[in-house]
């Protein structure tokens, strides 16, 4: 377990919110923004969900003013699977603190059994708050429709491929098709969306975004790239130097195993990166 904890440090900023803020400070020094995430998901106990929302509020208050107070949260950690109303109010409490502190809250997207409900919760919150955004997964068959709805409503979207294993009825399975779907959704969001976040380490998608934005006259200030802590660190600086907004997803906390597992599963090279790190490469 100790060795695993050591390996996870590549992808996780630490166990304490102060570790995450420290990482955020280092990023800010390089002109890179952050979104902070207290790791945790699939909470089935009300007290634990309340603790998760208190932790999110504490984090918003802890982030110093010169760093954007931007956090990411998972609805399943806020009690989504206990009761929708409970989750909604728990999350609204976080959005109240975000409003007080000038912060922004992104609702991460989880497995497809939660997609519709997460979007529903987002829509309800969006009627009361403008400091909340959602995530759409390019791999899902439903996503082009969700993108259209988000564009029509002016919602802030983070577009990613999707990290959860889904059946063929729900999601594309082939990487070429997922990339194609990603490009098509990204183009739509770049042209008509509200400050979309293009979240990928995939160089072909990063380049396509840059080229499409240039060709359509979309200024660099109208969107941002997002990447995960520990992945493609050099690329973050290159993009900033080229005038793009870059935000890094900074996870912290002790409940890192599912997150760490998803990172290893999605790319063999991530396992190699971890091993290289372990042996001092
Ligand atoms: P992927 O891992 O598919 O790699 C494709 C190619 O990219 C590689 O072949 C290589 O060319 C290049 N590449 C990747 N890593 C590299 C590296 N380290 N160095 C050099 N080249 C590299 N998912 C989800 O379901 N819900 C969510 O809410 C989120 N949130 C989220 C936030 C942010 C900020 C990010 C970046 C991602 C997510 N995701 C997510 C995860 C996302 O859905 C997806 O699983 C991962 O980003 C992996 O897909 P990529 O497109 O990044 O590249």
Question: Thinking of the domain 2-278, which architecture would CATH place it in?
Answer: Alpha-Beta Barrel (3.20)
pLDDT band at 6 (very low <50, low <70, confident <90, very high): low
Residue 182: CB within 6 Å of ligand 1?
no
Q: Which atom of ligand 1 is nearest to the CA of 200?
A: 52
At 281, the pLDDT band (50, 70, 90 cuts) reads very low
**pLDDT of res. 243:** 98
Give the pLDDT mean for 187-203: 98
pLDDT higher than 90, residue 32: yes
Amino acid 255: pLDDT: 80
What pLDDT score does 11 carry? Answer: 85
pLDDT single digits (tens) 93-145: 999 999 999 999 999 999 999 999 999 999 999 999 999 999 999 999 999 99
Taking the CA of residue 74 as reference, the ligand 1 atom at the shortest distance is 28
Task: Summarize pLDDT for 237-265 with one digit per residue, the tens.
Answer: 999 999 999 999 999 988 877 877 787 77
46 CA from centroid of ligand 1 (Å): 32
Least confident of 105-114, 173-182, 199-208, 246-255: 246-255
Is 72 close to ligand 1, i.e. is its CB under 6 Å away? Answer: no
Question: What's the pLDDT band for 42 if we cut at 50, 70, 90?
Answer: confident
Burial of 151 (0-12, 13-18, 19+ CB in 10 A): middle
Atom of ligand 1 nearest to the CA of 205: 51
Please say if the pLDDT value at position 278 is more than 60: no
pLDDT of residue 259: 79
Residue nearest to atom 36 of ligand 1 (CA): 227
């Amino acid at each position: 377990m100790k060795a695993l904890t050591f390996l996870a440090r590549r992808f996780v900023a630490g166990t304490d919110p102060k570790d995450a803020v420290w990482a955020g400070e280092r990023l800010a020094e390089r002109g890179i923004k952050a979104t902070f995430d207290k790791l945790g998901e699939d909470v089935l106990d009300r007290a634990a969900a309340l603790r998760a929302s208190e932790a999110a509020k504490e984090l918003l208050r802890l982030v110093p003013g010169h760093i954007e107070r931007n956090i990411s949260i998972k609805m399943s950690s806020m009690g989504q699977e206990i009761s929708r109303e409970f989750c909604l109010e728990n999350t609204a409490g976080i959005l109240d603190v975000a409003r007080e502190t000038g912060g922004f809250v992104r609702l991460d997207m989880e497995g497809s059994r939660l997609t519709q409900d997460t979007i529903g919760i987002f829509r309800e919150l969006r009627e009361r708050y403008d400091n909340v955004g959602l995530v759409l997964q390019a791999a899902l068959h439903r996503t082009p429709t969700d993108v259209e709805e988000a564009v029509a409503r002016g919602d802030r979207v983070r577009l990613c491929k999707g990290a959860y294993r889904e059946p063929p009825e729900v999601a594309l399975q082939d990487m070429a098709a997922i990339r194609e779907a990603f490009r098509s959704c990204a183009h739509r969001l770049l042209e008509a969306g509200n400050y979309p976040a293009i979240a990928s380490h995939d160089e072909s998608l990063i380049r396509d975004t840059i080229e499409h934005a240039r060709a359509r006259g979309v200024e660099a200030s109208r969107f941002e790239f997002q990447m995960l802590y520990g992945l493609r660190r050099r690329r973050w600086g290159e993009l900033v130097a080229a005038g793009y907004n870059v935000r890094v997803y900074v996870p912290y906390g002790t409940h890192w195993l599912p997150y760490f597992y998803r990172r290893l599963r999605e790319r063999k090279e991530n396992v190699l990166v971890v091993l290289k790190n372990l042996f001092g490469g």
